[in-house]
Amino acid sequence: MSIESLLRNGLLAVDGYEAELADKTHKQLSEMLKQNEIIKLSFNENPYGPSPKAIAAMQETVPQLHIYTDHEGVDLKNAIANKFCLKPQNVIYSNGADEMITMVCNTFLNEGEEAIIPIPTFGQYEVNVLLMNAQPILVKCCDNFEIDLERIKEKINDRTKLIFLCNPNNPTGLVVTKEQLDEFVSSLPDHVILVIDEAYIEYADHSQIANGIDYVRNNDRVIVIRTFSKIYGMAGARIGYAFASEEIIFHINRVRMPVNINWVGMEGAIASLDDDEHVAKIRKYTIREKQYLCNKFDEMGLAYIPSQTCFILVNVGRDSKEVMLDVAQHGIIIRPAHGWGYPNYARISLGNHEQNEKLVSAIGKALGKNIISKAI
């Protein structure tokens, strides 16, 4: 009997993770490209780093690494609950937002049930649905790249258990508005749970985007996933969290491993929540740099999707893998959008201003555009 015949149902539907050029570490890229400086604009990382308060808290915690962290994460849950005016019973944490997606699928999906996923979007929703031997129902976005909520509603049936919405969406950077989401949530049947991934919400225009916490406070069947990886600048610490009703959180907690986050990251996350000034600064810098890049793309005649995040999906006018290889010769890494079905597009994370100037120069050379990069 072969090993393959012993595998769990659903596993063979998922390819193992293989790092492409855009996924390599700075060290790996430096060795591969023989470049001393690597500007990695493929992972939507915060180029400004964590809050100084978070760094201090993590440094202070390092000598305690021989001790297991609190199995219930009481301090972290209390800090998150206090920050967002919820009860600790409405909060659960995870090893990054990725693990939270896995925990939600482990909690609710049975074999043969369905989860609706608008595309293009974050790939881990589909992967985790397949691992449960459930059926992902993929709904293509509208021609303007907006999530097609009406089409999603048409796909709901008796087998539907979960709907995933990334808001703002990755890789488009577009948002579902409060008006749109209010109507959508009110239309959902009782057997469907809406999972809203708000990894990038802190970057968005809050006068437009829906805030998933409002639905949790209303006790709707909604799970809101967030992370400390993006605007808080703690991607390497791997701390994610979610809000939901007390009953939903209780059941997700059944599948959470007892010690699933690290002590250093937890203390850094708590300290981050106490530094609104740092978050506001990162948001300000991001908006400034986004405008700078959009202006440069306009000068180059490149079409792009107006983003409310820390990245831009831009049409580079030819195969974006070729463009990626061209700019990589300058030590700059961007992400081709082939995996989302848009081979002429690239998703480009926002760097700091010096990095973005170098990006503009490299893209100009790759595309034969003569762009003068001026200081802002």
pLDDT in tens, 4-49: 889 988 888 888 878 788 889 999 989 998 999 999 999 999 999 9
Q: DSSP letters of 85-137? A: T--GGGEEEESHHHHHHHHHHHHHPPTT-EEEEEESS-THHHHHHHHTT-EEE
Looking at the predicted structure, is the pLDDT value of residue 300 above 50? yes
The pLDDT of residue 372 is above 80: no
Task: Give me the mean pLDDT over the 96-116 stretch.
Answer: 98
In order of start, what are the domains of the chain with their CATH numbers? 4-49+276-367 (3.90.1150.10), 52-272 (3.40.640.10)
Q: What is the pLDDT of residue 295?
A: 97
Does position 375 have pLDDT exceeding 60, yes or no?
no
Q: Please state, as a whole number, how many other Cβ atoms lie within 10 Å of the Cβ of residue 322.
A: 12
* pLDDT exceeds 80 at position 345: yes
Neighbours of 55 (CB within 10 A): 16
Give the model's pLDDT for residue 241: 98
Other beta carbons within 10 angstroms of residue 144's beta carbon come to 8
What average pLDDT does range 223-250 have in this prediction?
98
236: helix, coil or strand? helix
Position 191 scores a pLDDT of 97
Distance between CA atoms of residues 217 and 214, nearest Å: 5
Whether 166 and 124 have beta carbons less than 8 Å apart is answered as no
Q: What is the average pLDDT across 238-256?
A: 97
